[in-house]
Amino acid sequence: MQKLDIDARGKINLTLDVLCKRPDGYHEVEMIMQTIALKDIVSLKLTSQPSIKLNSNCPQLTRDEENLAYQAARLMMQQYRLDAGISITISKNIPLGAGLAGGSADAAAVIVGINELFELKRPQAELMSLGKKIGADVPFCIMGKTALSRGIGEKLSPLKSLSGFGVLLVKPPYFVSTKEVYNRLDVKNIKNRPDTKAMVDHIKHQNIDKIASGLCNVLEEVTLKLYPELDDIKNLLIQKGALGSLMSGSGPTVFGLFENTLDAKRAADDVAYRGNWIFVTEMK
């Protein structure tokens, strides 16, 4: 095998709770993550020269050591002493800096792809362990579907998979710094925390109404103060028929949860305004 295309799916948070700040500076979190159909395509190709080359249709995407996909390729080449070179082409569909784990998804795709391309036959658990060296969301992006995440995001427990429910993504035309949001969060005085245990039960029973009512992200306390219009978007999504609405990650992307994609498409026509990026997708 000389070439391989891998899907790199984005994610949304159904819950996100920050428990404490650790001595090493990282935050302990407890969150439920869900993959969506929105995806980048990561193409891998073997080359004769022992180097890593990265290209993309996205001009803003870094193509060097700062890129998580590049880091993932370098880690895999070093870990398994691979002497061939690899060319990576990323067809971006997931917006940059959106809170949808696009960079982590690309890195995960590179790890999975190199494992397959070089016929390494390494188990998923081993690949996930390597992935956490790149970023906290990478192990989840390798595993995918629906999962409860703890620690700094690397301790994962798979949940009953949700699929087919409609998701309407709305991203305003600006970037939110994850580091700034976490630095501004007063962990000891969070007003509204998710009931993660109850949400796990709702997912087990596939109760979309209770899942929608249980959506909660403590980072909204920070990001919505910085960007109050995000709360307006959330309210508009509810007005247009969303069962629930939430900010994903540290933002700025907000999503509405719907019974199906048809309902989400109907709402999309009314939400497309002010230069926002709009995308209808589904849980996958």
User: Catalytic residue positions?
Assistant: 11, 137
How far is 135 from 88, CA to CA, in rounded Å? 19
Identify any residues that bridge with 87 across adjacent strands, giving them in sequence order. 45, 53
DSSP states of 157-192 as a string? Answer: EE-PPP-S-EEEEEE-SS---HHHHHHH--GGG-S-
Among candidates 146, 258, 145, 152, which has minimal Cα distance to 200? 146
Residues 6+ apart with CB under 8 A from 191: 221
235: left (phi over 0), alpha (psi -120 to 50) or beta: alpha
How far is 155 from 235, CA to CA, in rounded Å? 33
Instruction: Provide the b/e sequence for 197-216 (b: ≥16 CB within 10 Å).
Output: eebbebbeeeebebbbebbb
How far is 75 from 121, CA to CA, in rounded Å? 16
Phi, psi of 66 (to 5 degrees): -75, -20
The letter for the amino acid at 134 is I
How far is 227 from 232, CA to CA, in rounded Å? 10
Peptide bond into 123 cis (omega under 30): no
Identify any residues that bridge with 257 across adjacent strands, giving them in sequence order. 167, 244
